Structure 1
Amino acid sequence: MNEGAPEQEVRARVQGGEIVGSVRGSGPPALLLHGGPGMSDYLADLAAELSAVLTVARYQQRGLAPSVVDGDRTVEGHVADAVAVLDALGWDRAWVIGHSWGGHLAMHLAVARSERLLGLMVLDALGALPDGGGEALGENLMRGLTDEQRVRMEEYNVREEAGEGTPEESLAAFNTVWPHYFSDPAAAPPVPEFRLDLERHLMTWPSITAHFEEGTLERGLARLRMPVLVVHGAASPISYAEAERSAALIPGARLQILPGIGHFPWIEEPGSVRREVEAFLAAASAPDGSSR
């Protein structure tokens, strides 16, 4: 398979149905995990960027079509789905690259099934320690809004916490804060055609919170023995302190902060993620094991 070839469909049997994704590119195998949870896969452009140096697979996580909609929404369920995709691809081991919630999931995958990973790249992710930077993320996004927008968002948040939010309100809220994921909100690109499912988003958070309370990643990451790269945009609304805290837990992890870049580096500076990946792969293959 090569960079210019079209994506090929991948289907993995999982609890309750199938996970649907695609694969493209050439080079070592790599699995991309998108953010959310409860969000449609938005990593097509990143997969294209990386396909010159990696054979890249990505998939729609459980909860939204064309993948299975129902079933296990726990962290464990998402980990099992990722392993099923690796199995469907025939990949005994692969690099795993996760963005946002997908980076958090990638850390759980590395802890639970380290034997399936060649290495790990965590890209502007929800952190490994409570609360992963979630509260600060919300505050940072709200800070840039107008008074009118802030009032609407606060009203929406109350409805969401009460379980009364609608998918339409969720999408409208995301559209409101979208520019503030970037270093210069005034220059933010148009909102992509995301799909959001608020109910399925909320169904996963109790499991995420439980793992924070149990210290799953805090204990497990300290036992990892694989190349790990943590990349974070200095202008991301997720504080770079979360990246520092996550990287500090992992023996030999490499931390790279991207100056002047927000939450979506491959959108804000095309090629930036590929450069970090290429340097990471080169270091991982160095005879002195300098990335470990």
Structure 2
Amino acid sequence: MTDEAQLRWMALGDTTRRPAVVMLHGGPGLPDYLGDVAPMVADLAPVYRYDQRGTGQSPWRGRHSFARHVDDLAELLDAWDVPRAVLIGHSYGTDLASRFCLTHPDRVAAMLLMCGPFVGDWRTGDRAERGRRMSAAQLERLHALEELPHRTEEQEVELLTLAWFTDHADPERGWHWAAQGARRRRPVNWAMNSELGAAGRADPLGEHLAELRACLPARAELLGGVDDPRPVSALESLALRLDLPLRRVEDAGHEPWLEQPNTVRAHLRRFVQGTLGS
């Protein structure tokens, strides 16, 4: 990158074809985890993914800001010779995609926002639903782990498993996926998470929705799991404010491709095929 940072990226499919799809993972502070999603559309268009700076195999130490991460994506598009991309963001990746669109609308061919962004007071409903899905002992243990000044590797895995299993509609399979993710998506860059969280509170995306609506590409959609603990009503409200369709995935939570892979594959393929035909 222009500041000498090195970012790990991956491409799947015929990279000579245009437009290209870029998948933006969530977190913030996690490495890329969309390796199971990319093949769903890689025969239709090339799919690029990358570890955001400071995560996974993109080692970096420094202050994190939305501007820096938006610039990273622009530089990567230049490196890939992709003038306009189809952005598919998940969770925090939807925030990054939205802020990139605000800054570089001419470089966004289409945008699919999956399980986000969540704006306004959605956290109250999220906390309440997570509390309902956890036992009192699990909730107490999660809080105890969060308060530890230092955690061992096993304690960190336990904390992430407790924090993530409620993301899914099926609690038993959700525990398996959360425990698996807790070991694979490591280490978490908690400093990055904290800094971008503070940046989001200082400059909420919700205050830019009118501007975002004005610069959205002609093809843009929201996709969300009905059983995500983050209230689907927040996505419904956002869809109205942005005048976008919201596709709901039944019996699925925050990572709907795990619980309903065929449904998510069909949505993604329809979306990308529609972009190629427009």
Same fold (TM > 0.5): yes
Shift of 1:215: 4.6
Aligned counterpart for 1:109 among listed residues 95, 100, 120:
100
- Counterpart Cα distance in 2 of 1:74 and 1:149: 33
CA distance in 2, matches of 1:62, 1:173: 23
- Rounded Cα–Cα distance in structure 2 between residues aligned with 1:49 and 1:101: 21
Number of equivalent positions: 267
Match in the other structure for 2:246: 255
Paired with 1:76 and 1:54, the residues of 2 have a C-alpha distance of: 28
1:181 has 2:204 as partner: no
> Equivalents in 2 of 1:107, 1:171: separation in Å?
31
Over the matched positions of the two proteins, sequence identity in percent amounts to 24
Report the equivalent of 2:11. 23
Letter matched to residue 7 of structure 2: I
- Partner secondary structure for residue 38 of structure 1: coil
Structure number having the greater helix percentage: 2
**Equivalent residue number for residue 61 of structure 1:** 52
Distance 1:256 1:59 in 2: 26
Q: Which amino acid aligns with 2:142?
A: M
The residue type equivalent to 1:152 in the other structure is R
Map 1:35-114 onto structure 2 (within 5 A): 35-114=26-105
Quote how far apart the aligned CAs of 1:266 are.
1.3
How far 1:216 moved relative to its partner? 4.3
Highest RCO, 1 vs 2 (Cα 8 Å, sep ≥ 6): 2
Q: How does 1:128-167 map to 2 (within 5 A)?
A: 129-131=119-121, 133-157=122-146, 159=147, 164=149, 166=151
Runs of 4+ residues over 6 Å off in structure 1 = none
- The structure richer in strand per residue is 1
CA contact (8 A) 1:98 1:106 kept: yes
2:35 aligned partner, one-letter code: A
Q: Is the 8 A contact 1:156 1:165 kept in 2?
A: no
- Stretches of structure 2 that go unaligned for 5 or more consecutive residues are none
Residue identity in the other structure for 1:176: L
TM-score with structure 1 setting the length: 0.83
Letter of the 1:204 counterpart: L
Q: What secondary structure, in the 3-state scheme, does the structure 2 residue paired with 1:44 have?
A: coil
Aligned to 1:201: 193
User: Alpha-carbon deviation of 1:121?
Assistant: 0.4
Q: TM-score, normalised by structure 2?
A: 0.87
- Preserved contact between residue 25 and residue 52 of structure 1 (Cα < 8 Å): yes
- C-alpha displacement of 1:155: 2.9
Unaligned ranges ≥5, structure 1: 1-12, 288-292
| Cα distance between partner residues in 2 of 1:166 and 1:200 | 18
How far, CA to CA, are the matches of 1:64 and 1:283 in structure 2? 33
Partners of 2:207 and 2:152 in 1: how far apart? Answer: 31
Cα separation, partners in 2 of 1:61 and 1:166, compared to 1, 3 Å: farther
Is the alpha carbon distance of 1:262 and 1:80 closer, same or farther for their aligned partners in structure 2, counting shifts above 3 Å?
same
The one-character-per-residue Cα deviations of 1:226-282 (angstroms, maximum 9, x if unpaired) are 11110000011111122122222324x221111111111111122322211222244
